[in-house]
A and B are shown apart, each in its own frame.
Chain A
Amino acid sequence: MRCLTCILILLLYIQTAAARTLKVGRQQAFTTIAAAIAVAQNNDTVLVEAGIYREKNLIISRSIVLLGLNHPELDGEKKYEIITIRADNVVVDGFKLSHSGVSSLDDLAGIRIHNCHNVTVRNNILDDTFFGIYSQLGINCTIENNKLTAYGEAELQSGNGIHCWKSDSMKIIANTVSGHRDGIYFEFVTNSIIWRNDSYNNIRYGLHFMFSHNDAYITNIFRNNGAGVAVMYSHGVKMIHNFFEKNWGDAAYGLLLKEISDSYIDGNYFNENTSGIYMEGTSRLEVVQNVFSFNGWGMKIQASCMDNTITRNNFQSNTFDVGTNGSLVLNSFEQNYWDKYEGYDLNRDNTGDVPYRPVSMYSMIVEKNPAAMMLFRSFITSLLDRSEKILPTLTPENLKDDHPLMKPLPL
């Protein structure tokens, strides 16, 4: 019995030892965070009170919780990387990180997750950092509810907001990213989820995927980015219920897809983009129940795409519904609603009896001969489009929707 009590007391002692809280602040035991981190053991909490801390580069190499009260500010003095995490199970919560160093050689970041797993970075405010949160070989990390703001002007002199490289099972949730080069950047990242983020006013892409397979991004807003969103060289990407808005400019796309296969695009909204979706070399994509409205081109499908199905989407108020660059068509359009459809429905089953050809003659002319854009919105081009509708000659014969819907889908 006594032995058991001893063991219990011993256990309790270890338990309390493990849950130490080290307080950092002006009137506390530690006045600098670096000093607290240096003595902290695994599972300790370092509690930082509000204030401005200039600590150069904080390196966390034990599994601790770094907790900020009322957003204490960590200033990188435009020289240093602010926090570097090199241990598993670390939590960084509630800080304000500002003015990280800028270096295109080292990719300095506000918070770097370096070769570890189960790290959580949440509720932080990052202001004027070069790279925001940088995950390098991170596994099963959570980046949640952070607000990242940068003031980049040129593409080459600015870093990405949330940058993940060679990571796996990442959870990027409810972050706000603006003013970076790419809002969220994924390279060699697998099995990850991007959920409820807001990425706007970034210089290049709101979201950028490279070689990242089997990821999902759901209910995000990508607005006003220099070139929209790019998903490239990946397979098994699920893009569900996102908003692609106001990506407007000469080289802007709502969603740029290059060499993507076996992916799924469902329930997204494409509003006011120069091109809603631009597809190149994609195969076996399912584009279902999306809304394309007020875009220059609803979709641009290059002839290099194959076996894509575009079903049950709404195309409304686009200047051109679909554009393509060749006569080869290996994709299928079925049961979409096109507001420019002029056919009829005799048996009233809400499906038009005449096929709709979404590619206009003028968009084909422009694709072959870009200088013809000089005649944009002129009388002759609308006349040509009319005559082409009656007797297709230049537009691809097979690019048509055989069962266009008469009424828009309730999306």
Chain B
Amino acid sequence: MKKIIKYVFTDILRNKIVLGYTAFLLVMSLSVFNLEDNTSKGLLSLLNVVLIIVPLVSVIFSTIYIYNSAEFVELLVSQPLRRKHIWTSLYTGLAGSLSLAFLIGAGVPILLYAPAGTGAVMTGMGLLLTIIFVSIALLAAVITRDKAKGIGMAIFLWLYFALLFDGLVLFILFQFQDYPLEKFMLVATAFNPIDLSRIMILLKMDISALMGFTGAVFRDFFGSGTGFIIAIGILVTWAAVLFWLSLRRFNRKDL
């Protein structure tokens, strides 16, 4: 299993696209911090990168990688190896290398330039989002054999989490605006890792004062130590459950 992880890891790290992704993140974050005169504005610009671009790149790259290594997987399956180990190694390799790319590209500048608390939360959320969206990619890739369909599904899932879910929330908010919806909102965020990480990051920034009553409700819950742990727990659960679903599917799949 270690050998497969090592192989996948080095294979991806040599990949020009991942190198390009790392370089892009690095240039982006360094220029953002150097151009803006105060770091909190720089962090706000990077917020969009972490919430939109990191999931997108993770999900598309991973899906394509899984499809491209279909023959390699077939070869491995023919060897005396357990399927569980093969799939887990693939996942570990992908998530690990993309996380490393994010850590070098965005994590290091953020931790260098931004205040410690906010920077740490932002880096942590970026890493968790990378892992979650690799899980989503694995699920999408294992569901269908058709490459176009699989990539389409992955992109659609990204679109759903990045955009459509929020649209849906907004729709519900207006349909039920006569009711107190703060508790509902709190629960709703758990169903979208991107929203949850956005709120976790915003709560760490002083801009959260603009969030008014709803912000206060969120701060009460997520701002506390237990709330923070719960949020991390939810995000890890997202990654774990999606991976587990894809693993179950892979175990029974006729390759």
Closest Cβ–Cβ distance, residue A252 to chain B (whole Å)? 8
Q: Is the CB of A374 within 8 A of B214?
A: yes
Q: B205-244: contact bitstring with A at CB < 8 Å (1 yes, 0 no)?
A: 0110111111110100000000000000000000000000
- Interface of chain B, helix or strand or loop or mixed? helix
Tell me if A372 is interfacial: C-beta within 8 Å of chain B: yes
Residues of A within 8 A of B216 (CB): 250
Given contacts A377-B198, A379-B162, contact A371 B211 (CB under 8 A): no
Given contacts A374-B189, A377-B198, contact A369 B162 (CB under 8 A): no
Tell me if B134 is interfacial: C-beta within 8 Å of chain A: no
Closest residue of B by beta carbon distance from A384: B170
User: For window 181-210 of chain B, which residues contact chain A by CB distance below 8 Å?
Assistant: 181-182, 184-185, 188-189, 195, 198-199, 202, 206-207, 209-210
Q: A246-260: contact bitstring with B at CB < 8 Å (1 yes, 0 no)?
A: 001110100000000
Which one, A248, A369, A380, contacts B163 given CB within 8 A?
A: A380
Closest Cβ–Cβ distance, residue A148 to chain B (whole Å)? 28
Closest Cβ–Cβ distance, residue B57 to chain A (whole Å)? 15
Residues of B within 8 A of A377 (CB): 44, 47-48, 198, 202, 207
Closest residue of A by beta carbon distance from B41: A317
Tell me if B167 is interfacial: C-beta within 8 Å of chain A: yes
Given contacts A374-B189, A377-B202, contact A319 B207 (CB under 8 A): yes
Q: Is the CB of B212 within 8 A of A380?
A: no
Tell me if A179 is interfacial: C-beta within 8 Å of chain B: no
Tell me if A17 is interfacial: C-beta within 8 Å of chain B: no
Tell me if A137 is interfacial: C-beta within 8 Å of chain B: no
Tell me if A376 is interfacial: C-beta within 8 Å of chain B: yes
Q: Is the CB of B169 within 8 A of A374?
A: yes
Residues of B within 8 A of A319 (CB): 207, 210
Q: Is the CB of B163 within 8 A of A371?
A: no
Given contacts A371-B185, A374-B189, contact A380 B167 (CB under 8 A): yes
User: For window 257-302 of chain A, which residues contact chain B by CB distance below 8 Å?
Assistant: 274, 296-297
Q: Is the CB of A248 within 8 A of B209?
A: yes
Closest residue of A by beta carbon distance from B47: A377
Closest residue of A by beta carbon distance from B215: A373
Given contacts A369-B173, A369-B174, contact A375 B166 (CB under 8 A): yes
Q: Is the CB of B169 within 8 A of A369?
A: no
Residues of A within 8 A of B213 (CB): 370, 373
Q: Is the CB of B163 within 8 A of A379?
A: yes
Q: Is the CB of B211 within 8 A of A376?
A: yes
Q: Is the CB of B210 within 8 A of A378?
A: no
Residues of B within 8 A of A296 (CB): 207, 209-210
Closest Cβ–Cβ distance, residue B72 to chain A (whole Å)? 35
In the docked arrangement, what's the CA distance between A372 and B181, Å?
9
Q: Is the CB of B212 within 8 A of A373?
A: yes
Residues of A within 8 A of B44 (CB): 377
Tell me if B52 is interfacial: C-beta within 8 Å of chain A: yes
Tell me if A365 is interfacial: C-beta within 8 Å of chain B: yes
Residues of A within 8 A of B79 (CB): none
* Residue among B169, B170, B188, B216 with the highest chain A CB neighbour number at 10 A: B170
Tell me if A20 is interfacial: C-beta within 8 Å of chain B: no
Tell me if A383 is interfacial: C-beta within 8 Å of chain B: yes
Tell me if A368 is interfacial: C-beta within 8 Å of chain B: yes
Closest Cβ–Cβ distance, residue B200 to chain A (whole Å)? 12
Residues of A within 8 A of B78 (CB): none
In the docked arrangement, what's the CA distance between A252 and B169, Å?
29
Closest residue of B by beta carbon distance from A362: B170
Interface residue total, chain B, C-beta cutoff 8 A: 36
Q: Is the CB of B215 within 8 A of A379?
A: no
In the docked arrangement, what's the CA distance between A235 and B173, Å?
41
Residues of A within 8 A of B181 (CB): 371
In the docked arrangement, what's the CA distance between A110 and B207, Å?
39
Closest Cβ–Cβ distance, residue A317 to chain B (whole Å)? 8
Closest residue of B by beta carbon distance from A374: B185
Tell me if B177 is interfacial: C-beta within 8 Å of chain A: yes
Q: B137-178: contact bitstring with A at CB < 8 Å (1 yes, 0 no)?
A: 000000000000000000000000011001101100110010
Tell me if B51 is interfacial: C-beta within 8 Å of chain A: yes
Residues of A within 8 A of B212 (CB): 250, 366, 370, 373
Closest residue of A by beta carbon distance from B177: A369
Q: A338-377: contact bitstring with B at CB < 8 Å (1 yes, 0 no)?
A: 0000000000000000000000000001101111111111
* Residue among A252, A296, A371, A383 with the highest chain B CB neighbour number at 10 A: A371
In the docked arrangement, what's the CA distance between A296 and B51, Å?
22
Q: Is the CB of B218 within 8 A of A374?
A: yes
Closest residue of A by beta carbon distance from B166: A380
Closest Cβ–Cβ distance, residue A347 to chain B (whole Å)? 32
Residues of B within 8 A of A371 (CB): 173, 177, 181-182, 184-185, 214
Interface residues of B (CB under 8 A from A): 41, 44, 47-48, 51-52, 162-163, 166-167, 169-170, 173-174, 177, 181-182, 184-185, 188-189, 195, 198-199, 202, 206-207, 209-216, 218
Complex A-B, nearest 3 residue pairs according to Cβ-Cβ distance, in ascending order: A380-B166, A296-B210, A373-B214
Instruction: Apart from A373-B210, A375-B195, list 18 A-B contacts with CB within 8 A.
Output: A249-B209, A250-B216, A319-B207, A365-B170, A366-B212, A370-B214, A374-B169, A374-B188, A374-B189, A374-B218, A375-B169, A377-B202, A378-B166, A378-B195, A379-B52, A379-B166, A380-B167, A381-B166
**What are 20 pairs between A and B in contact, CB < 8 Å?**
A248-B206, A249-B209, A250-B209, A250-B216, A252-B209, A296-B210, A297-B210, A365-B170, A373-B214, A374-B189, A375-B195, A376-B215, A377-B48, A377-B198, A378-B51, A378-B166, A379-B51, A379-B163, A380-B163, A380-B170
